[in-house]
Chain A
Amino acid sequence: MLAESIVIIGVNHKTAPVAVREKLAFSGDCAGPLLTLMNIEGCQECCFLSTCNRVEVIFVASDPAAAAVAVRGFLFAKSGLADAEAQQYSYLYQGREAVDHLYHVATSLDSMVVGEPQILGQLKQAYREALEQKTTGVILNRLLHKSFSVAKRVRTETNIGGSAVSISYAAVQLAKKILGNLQDKSVLLVGAGEMAELAAEHLVRQGIGRVIVANRTLERAALLARRFNGTAVGLAELTTQLAEVDILVSSTGATDLILTKDQVKPLMRQRKNRPLFLIDIAVPRDLDPELNELDNVYLYDIDDLKNVVDVNKVEREKEALRAEGIVAEEVAKFWQWLEGMELSPTITAIRQKADAIREAEVAKTLSNLKSLSESERRSVEMLANAIVNKLLHEPMVFLKNGGPGDNSRTKLALVRQLFGLDKEY
């Protein structure tokens, strides 16, 4: 069945530690991965999304099970992990679940910080590249377009975006409260998550003087540093850099603390007590909570920032729930469309539509021609019937004669559009 041929395979911050995610290492444009994916047998459409926190392949395949193994193999090609392990670190969603997942991603309900706006832009960019490579078709075009509009709907109808934007806004406000003018200050980004990027973007917009990016893999650090006109350093240089910078934004996926009180204490003397604003947006934490006890050191983790932004946690959860409701509603709509995208439902739908029009028009005409005899009335009905059947004959033949595969789907979509079967296209 067509609906079950939509599949998403991916890795994100929930399923795989950063050490694994880094090994997948896709950087630069998606053209290469897209072409490789399209060469997988049975893969009809695909889209490739790679961000700091996730790598996902969204594809439509005639034999989903076989294609899934090949796609996973492609994803983990550089990691050296066996398929069994790869399965453990990745997720696979099919059919309705896949639609549901993609909507969660687009609306940022699946993000590390719910409501962060970055991901939608990244998804749009991924789609744009897929369009350029012509790797999407009827199904993914509609699915991705829908996911964008769902994201937009969630953003306008709920206040979900409020908290993420205001979190980085609050962080910047705090930085200004502590450090005053940001122009002659510098920020060190440790790790390169979506929230770190967002915070950095805000800081840059507020005129921060210098951006330094430290990451385990220098390549990734360089990539992010280039975006902000900054410099990239290795993670080993953390403490050296810390003696210089004014703000540190930490978002590594490390399981242990990367910075303790004892490491920073001697640095403060070296810094001549210049204040240090530490922002820990990693889960689990990167920075020792005791750091806040040091004089002139101010440590805020993501929960602190959230609490500062709005004390009302219940409110935030309510917004997320409302967003979930919208997503569920939209998944159902898409599903309805997808189920209609088969031959027989389409034929039935055309028939029904034509019959409805015929009946309505005949009734209208006959009510104006009351003087007609019974046999004359029957003639009128037969006339209408014949016109409808003759008109529909060619389209039906056109529909039924298609071979299997993408071509027939395009045809279906075309005919459905022609007859206006899906109201909101």
Chain B
Amino acid sequence: MTLLFQLTFSLYLFATVVYVVHFLSQKKQVRAVARAIILTGGLLHTVYFVVRYVAAGHTPLTSNHEAVSFFAWSMTWAFLSFWWRYRVKNFGVFVAPLISLLMLIAAFSSQEMVPLPPALRSNWLPAHASIAIMANGFMALAFCGGVMYLLLEHEIKKKKFGIFYSRLPSLEALDNLNQHCLALGFLLMTMGIITGSVWAKQAWGTYWQWDPKETWSLVTWLIYAAILHQRLTMGWRRRRAAIMAIVGFGAVLFTLWGVTYLLGGVHSYVG
């Protein structure tokens, strides 16, 4: 099982390297190779989860390792899902390193399987945890899009065309990507909070108990709600939207780790 994880991880790393080579050379064949590798990585990653599910006897989303690994999995598949309708030029070279980074963090966390406390055994576990983390996957893509936007915009504003001008898609396309990811991510995030709250009622008897994780999830949710609201009403588009996607992702990361390690609470993984 560890081998399976390591194989997946190295595939993502390899995809990152090939994407960088493609970014610099802009050769189509190289991109095809990178896509094949990341697709294989995504499939292996899925197998890894199934194997782990069977071994643990419950949805493997209860330790930091599992959560972060699933985060990477969501990002991969969210990215791959874009192939159907929504191609973004040279997106991979920004996404693949982030996936690899998440996998690196997962690799360094304890991979031990811990038995689930009886209170948490519920069908709401897979629903809540997976939806909440998939939301993060889309927010991570919005973050990548935001970074790309700022890099390209910088070159256009400064009137010095460097490595990004010819390689990145138009600002318009990146802004659309931003909206697309935020909208989907926000929908999933809302569902994640609702399912979590229902589950909390079942497990602890109350919908909301101001546990730090809950509080921070709410803060993150409010940040994204504000971004989307401003975008639709005040025209917070483009540059500001890109910056906000980056800020919002900071909140996501804090909710994921900052809370666990700094503040504690019921969401601190059992491990």
A and B are interacting partners? yes
Chain A residues close to B by CB (< 8 Å): 174, 176-181, 269, 271-275, 292, 295-296, 298, 300, 304, 307-308
* Pair A177/B238 contact, Cβ less than 8 Å: no
* Pair A273/B170 contact, Cβ less than 8 Å: no
B residues less than 8 Å from A269 (CB atoms): 235
Q: Which of A177, A271, A295, A298 contacts B170 (CB 8 A)?
A: A177
In Å, the complex CA distance between A272 and B161 comes to 27
In Å, the complex CA distance between A351 and B69 comes to 99
* Pair B171/A177 contact, Cβ less than 8 Å: yes
A residues less than 8 Å from B254 (CB atoms): none
A residues less than 8 Å from B161 (CB atoms): 308
14 contacts between A and B (CB under 8 A): A178-B170, A178-B172, A179-B170, A180-B170, A180-B173, A180-B176, A269-B235, A272-B237, A273-B237, A274-B237, A275-B238, A296-B239, A298-B156, A304-B159
In Å, the complex CA distance between A178 and B173 comes to 9
B152 at the interface (CB under 8 A from A): yes
Given A179-B170, A295-B239, A298-B156, 4 additional A-B pairs, CB 8 A: A273-B235, A273-B240, A275-B172, A292-B157
Instruction: Classify the interface of chain B: helix, strand, loop or mixed.
Output: helix
* Residues 141-171 of B contacting A (Cβ, < 8 Å): 152, 156-157, 159, 161, 165, 170-171
B residues less than 8 Å from A307 (CB atoms): 159
* Pair A178/B235 contact, Cβ less than 8 Å: no
> In whole Å, how far is B90's beta carbon from the nearest beta carbon of chain A?
13
B234 at the interface (CB under 8 A from A): yes
* Residues 194-212 of B contacting A (Cβ, < 8 Å): none
B221 at the interface (CB under 8 A from A): no
Q: Which of A178, A292, A300 contacts B171 (CB 8 A)?
A: A178
* Pair B156/A295 contact, Cβ less than 8 Å: no
Closest Cβ neighbor of B236 among chain A residues: A273
Q: How many residues of B contact A (CB 8 A)?
A: 18
B residues less than 8 Å from A275 (CB atoms): 171-172, 238
Closest Cβ neighbor of A297 among chain B residues: B157
Q: Which of A273, A304, A308 contacts B238 (CB 8 A)?
A: A273
In Å, the complex CA distance between A292 and B159 comes to 10
In Å, the complex CA distance between A295 and B239 comes to 7
Sorted nearest first, the 6 A-B pairs with minimum C-beta distance are A272-B235, A180-B172, A273-B235, A180-B170, A296-B238, A273-B237
* Residues 167-190 of B contacting A (Cβ, < 8 Å): 170-173, 176
> In whole Å, how far is A332's beta carbon from the nearest beta carbon of chain B?
42
In Å, the complex CA distance between A180 and B89 comes to 13
> In whole Å, how far is B153's beta carbon from the nearest beta carbon of chain A?
9
In Å, the complex CA distance between A275 and B235 comes to 11
* Pair B159/A295 contact, Cβ less than 8 Å: no
Given A273-B237, A274-B237, A296-B238, check contact A181 B172 (CB 8 Å): yes
Given A177-B156, A180-B173, check contact A295 B240 (CB 8 Å): yes
B residues less than 8 Å from A176 (CB atoms): 170
In Å, the complex CA distance between A292 and B157 comes to 7
B residues less than 8 Å from A273 (CB atoms): 235-238, 240
* Pair B172/A179 contact, Cβ less than 8 Å: yes
* Pair A177/B237 contact, Cβ less than 8 Å: no
In Å, the complex CA distance between A210 and B171 comes to 21
In Å, the complex CA distance between A177 and B237 comes to 16
Closest Cβ neighbor of B241 among chain A residues: A273
In Å, the complex CA distance between A348 and B170 comes to 69
In Å, the complex CA distance between A180 and B171 comes to 7
A residues less than 8 Å from B236 (CB atoms): 273
A residues less than 8 Å from B172 (CB atoms): 178-181, 275
* Pair B235/A300 contact, Cβ less than 8 Å: no
Closest Cβ neighbor of B169 among chain A residues: A180
In Å, the complex CA distance between A274 and B238 comes to 8
